[in-house]
Structure 1
């Protein structure tokens, strides 16, 4: 029977097929969940989202506490047994649960899949337990195949991050990336609309949670194939940069139905908080920053900086899991304005916006309103040009003139936030 299962694993729908056979053999509902509760395979209908998230959260908590598997959980009147499905090709490492206070663990459980059996397996015959163990091995094979499929995408993420850290001109970035394995496989040689997601975590406010573990967790948490803004596994490329996980997430182009499709930072925070609520200790935290969508490579460095600024704002939040996006950056800066004396605020606004007002007055131009619209569009050249009914090159000329008059670089997030504050003051 196990050999039959192994043959099934060569098919795309194999995990579901294996679990269906197990259901017929043992009469058990069995599912495979991600660490955030997304159903990867198994019995239909899927568990309710709240139940699945609770089971995934209980699993992570049990792993960190050092509890031996299978982990037995009761929700309401239903009993579940949870078993880890780890990457069969990954090296064996100590569990983070054994020494969390010293921060020597690797938090590998954040990347596990979870085999969920809707029964207390301690009451089952020994032969059933042995079969379940074999099924876990087969699911681990599928887990490893999934990871291998992500190698090319994650190589793309590494190369893109290196290019953004280099002095390569923005317009050359897509050309450089076209030689990567991912580009060759996907035949995608042009820049695609994406968002940057940057994450960092701390144990006891002093030791970093391994970025490699956060990377895998975020890859799963961001998958929303049926969400308002669909994101599939193939839309996510991820890497690490020191203590930070860095992800590039493809998002759809604007349409009449979705004029500005973007990741939902609040929804991402809810998913992660549900999964990590029992895993994180009282002084542990995970912070995530999300950028605005990037429609052209010329804005990529700016967006990466925006995500990292949002990450710093998230780290100041009181919650153990905090996600902040571009809207939060604006509100964070503007919320500080009342703390600054009125005379100081007015002087700041006059100094920053005065050259534009003077120019508009003398030459009958619209630089100030152009700046305001540019900021409203999150520095998107195409969106702003469309709203102003301008060619993008005409908009670039206006923005260049604004930068020349003010001596400020609008490619920098700090500059845009300064202008937003000045416009709010008036």
Structure 2
């Protein structure tokens, strides 16, 4: 803004002392001071307000004005409340240094001038930044992003002193400028955002976390824009991103609110690009799922997996193992049209949510989920998760028969149901409110196409186990499918076979590599009712050797043969094998 505009604003009570030749100077800020030497606090372009407390006699004016002129301030405004008329020596010093001087009427507070200048300058800077945002949005729409949303978040910080972060619906940071937002704070803000959306409040939403006030702006896909009033907000609440700004936007002018809305639209372009990048992975998962459900030959499924593996695990040298995760989001029918149930396409909602849940919460960025393939069918979403296979044992250890020797894990880190939901339970519960449920099931890992159908059924059955529990967000894993559950008639045969393979395959593999005869040892130990002496005599072994073998069985399976439940599991697995 210009000095001339301030002089023409009657409410500010300014009166020009001297000629008007310098009134076209730009004002970039305001500072109030009564220091004799305020140079350390000046950066140039300020309107300096002073009550003249520094003025003792005529010789004080010249050095004070010389310091202001040397710092490049835009002008000086002196209050009349303290001394009445502005001293003539000050007027003369400003004239010599060509520094515009204003008198401030004693009825006008400096705070009034300060607020007016800050508001005008901030509005103009916001307007300039809005043009940058619009230009950047057009660049992102028409070609390469040129830096992505971080560029505009940086501008918000440098031009408007606003710290901002883009968060997923679970609070994971997708983009940000400067210091990352702490994970617990992000999760809390995501929960508050989801709760506000479900309550129908008008955005932006004011929220407090960690003693700091934030304003939360929804970010919705450009492809569907804002959810129309005729559609249920629950269709998008669990998948939309949000922009968290460290400020209270409740008293912001319309121009600044419009600017932030422009930023959200720009980030929505990045969201659309991310979704487009997932298309290939979604299609691969859909093809594999359809083949598995149709009972296709293992060779055909294996061919599809060979295509999927390089996409999901680039640079992988060996075929991975696989886990299956099944998710379902159910909503109450309250408010839906008669005969339409909840009226919400649950499979698509569960797909977007499962893609987010499977991302490592410690990883930031919009492309952090590039190894996740999720398909959906009906109201169910199914994820095909690759696990990097561990390096196989070397040739010189393949014949090692030491029962107490090291054992190489057959796969990389596997997914666990309780761990998956630990970091996202709170925000998702807020989004589900009192009329939605998320249930999730996780299979054991399989290493061949033949095992995928069993893994899928196992994950589905685990999800049904989770659905039988109370709570809005529940999960269950393959390890929770106990032997007594498998005796129930409604349990699919594939689940039974998967249970047996999971329990006995580690022992079979060990026997094949080490000729350790763990399976026969286990059968004899159970037949002898756990008697060490009778079992050792039957196998013609020393009792210590038998103890080594049983210890190896327990180590490989994670079971305890002194527990009745684990003995029963092994007994049933051997009978069903």
Structures share a fold, TM > 0.5? Answer: yes
Match of 2:159 in 1: 25
Pair 1:112 & 2:261 matched: no
By how many angstroms is 1:232 displaced?
A: 4.4
Go from structure 1 to structure 2 and tell me whether the alpha carbon gap of 1:331 and 1:389 turns closer, same or farther (over 3 Å shift).
Answer: same
Using the alignment, how far apart are the partners of 2:286 and 2:567 within structure 1? Answer: 32
Higher helix share: 1
Q: State how 1:67-78 maps to structure 2 within 5 Å.
A: 67-78=201-212
Question: Given the alignment, which residue of 271, 292, 296 partners 1:143?
Answer: 271
Using the alignment, how far apart are the partners of 1:170 and 1:253 within structure 2? Answer: 20
Using the alignment, how far apart are the partners of 1:378 and 1:166 within structure 2? Answer: 24
Go from structure 1 to structure 2 and tell me whether the alpha carbon gap of 1:55 and 1:424 turns closer, same or farther (over 3 Å shift).
Answer: same
Q: Is the 8 A contact 2:166 2:242 kept in 1?
A: yes
Higher RCO (C-alpha under 8 Å, 6+ residues apart): 1
By how many angstroms is 1:260 displaced?
A: 5.2
Higher mean C-alpha deviation, range 200-209 or range 165-174: 200-209
Q: Is the 8 A contact 1:85 1:137 kept in 2?
A: yes
Pair 1:84 & 2:218 matched: yes
Pair 1:242 & 2:366 matched: no
Q: State how 1:176-215 maps to structure 2 within 5 Å.
A: 176=304, 192-204=320-332, 207=342, 210-215=346-351
Match of 1:388 in 2: 511
SS across alignment from 1:83: strand
Match of 1:420 in 2: 569
Unpaired segments of 5 or more residues in structure 2? 1-131, 334-340, 392-407, 489-497, 519-565
Using the alignment, how far apart are the partners of 1:225 and 1:65 within structure 2? Answer: 27
Match of 1:407 in 2: none
By how many angstroms is 1:317 displaced?
A: 0.8
Go from structure 1 to structure 2 and tell me whether the alpha carbon gap of 1:297 and 1:12 turns closer, same or farther (over 3 Å shift).
Answer: farther
Using the alignment, how far apart are the partners of 1:3 and 1:185 within structure 2? Answer: 37
Cα deviations across residues 140-182 of structure 1 (Å, max 9, x unaligned)?
A: 1001000100011101111111110123211321324566898
Match of 1:368 in 2: none
Go from structure 1 to structure 2 and tell me whether the alpha carbon gap of 1:156 and 1:418 turns closer, same or farther (over 3 Å shift).
Answer: farther
Q: State how 1:157-306 maps to structure 2 within 5 Å.
A: 157-176=285-304, 192-204=320-332, 207=342, 210-224=346-360, 226=362, 232-254=368-390, 261-282=413-434, 284-306=436-458
Using the alignment, how far apart are the partners of 1:279 and 1:292 within structure 2? Answer: 29
Go from structure 1 to structure 2 and tell me whether the alpha carbon gap of 1:185 and 1:282 turns closer, same or farther (over 3 Å shift).
Answer: closer
TM-score after normalising by structure 1: 0.73
Cα deviations across residues 64-113 of structure 1 (Å, max 9, x unaligned)?
A: 22111111112243111111111112365446xx88xxxx5552121111
Pair 1:2 & 2:133 matched: yes
By how many angstroms is 1:377 displaced?
A: 6.7
Go from structure 1 to structure 2 and tell me whether the alpha carbon gap of 1:258 and 1:388 turns closer, same or farther (over 3 Å shift).
Answer: closer
Q: Is the 8 A contact 1:81 1:118 kept in 2?
A: yes
Using the alignment, how far apart are the partners of 2:433 and 2:345 within structure 1? Answer: 12
Using the alignment, how far apart are the partners of 1:151 and 1:143 within structure 2? Answer: 13
Q: State how 1:39-50 maps to structure 2 within 5 Å.
A: 39-50=173-184
Q: Aligned pairs, how many?
A: 358
Using the alignment, how far apart are the partners of 2:567 and 2:466 within structure 1? Answer: 20
Larger radius of gyration: 2
Q: Is the 8 A contact 1:28 1:118 kept in 2?
A: yes
Go from structure 1 to structure 2 and tell me whether the alpha carbon gap of 1:6 and 1:146 turns closer, same or farther (over 3 Å shift).
Answer: same
